[in-house]
Amino acid sequence: MSNSDLETQSISIPFDGSEDRFDRWRFLQNFLDGDHPSSDVVNIILYRVLDGVLKYEGPSENVVELTSEVKQNIEEILTSFSVDGRVKAVLTMSNNDDDYDEAEKSTLKILEKLETILPDPVENEDDYKSLWDTIIELHGRETVKFNESQNPVSLDWRIANTVTRVLLHYDFLTLGIINTPP
């Protein structure tokens, strides 16, 4: 077993299926507020939700139907932007500015790819607006308005709202993590 496998096992993921919807709501609210437990926890949850979406078999009214393009984009996220069961979307602070700059560039690429698996604002206007409505409910209308009005929009906010919208869209709030590995 590698050190990274040991590290992943030692991280406590708060969602094992025994939690309720309120726990997931509170987790997303804290994440948007900047009070998430750690970037690793969020990155692991993002990986597991996307991995579960690809592995889930069987029809359900709660599961998003994947187009071949979206499925391909999720597969690319999981293969190209993931390490040790984590999608490296949420930055981990580093004392080395060069490492941070490189991580920031990588994060921007991941965010762009995550946007491709969200509903299109024109083609799926209702789904797109519904995600933003939920973000507003979680974080507050004025706070969202303030964060979106900043020029430029902060990277921390962009990460938080993009990852949260992805988790919401792929039913993390209602279903949690589907097909979580043992």
Series of mean pLDDT values for 10-residue runs along the chain (182 residues):
44 67 89 82 91 73 75 94 88 61 86 95 93 94 92 90 95 77 44
* pLDDT computed for residue 3 by the predictor: 40
Residue 69 belongs to some domain of the structure: yes
Residue 8 located in a structural domain: no
pTM assigned to the model: 0.84
Give CA separation, 119 vs 2, 23, 39, 109, 170, in Å: 38, 25, 25, 18, 11
Question: Count of CB atoms within 10 A of residue 97's CB?
Answer: 8
Residue 29 falls inside a structural domain: yes
User: Is 13 within the bounds of a domain?
Assistant: no
Task: Give the pLDDT of residue 55.
Answer: 85
Residue 136: how many CA atoms within 13 Å on its side-chain side?
Answer: 10
Question: Which of 90, 133, 142 has the alpha carbon at shortest distance from 111?
Answer: 90
Our count of domains for the chain comes to 1
Closest CA to 165 of 122, 123, 100, 121: 121
- The confidence score (pLDDT) of residue 166 equals 96
- Residues of the domain holding 38: 19-175
- Is 181 contained in some domain? no
Domain annotation covers residue 92: yes
Q: What pLDDT is attached to residue 11?
A: 65
Domain presence at residue 1 = no
| Residue 2 counted as domain residue | no
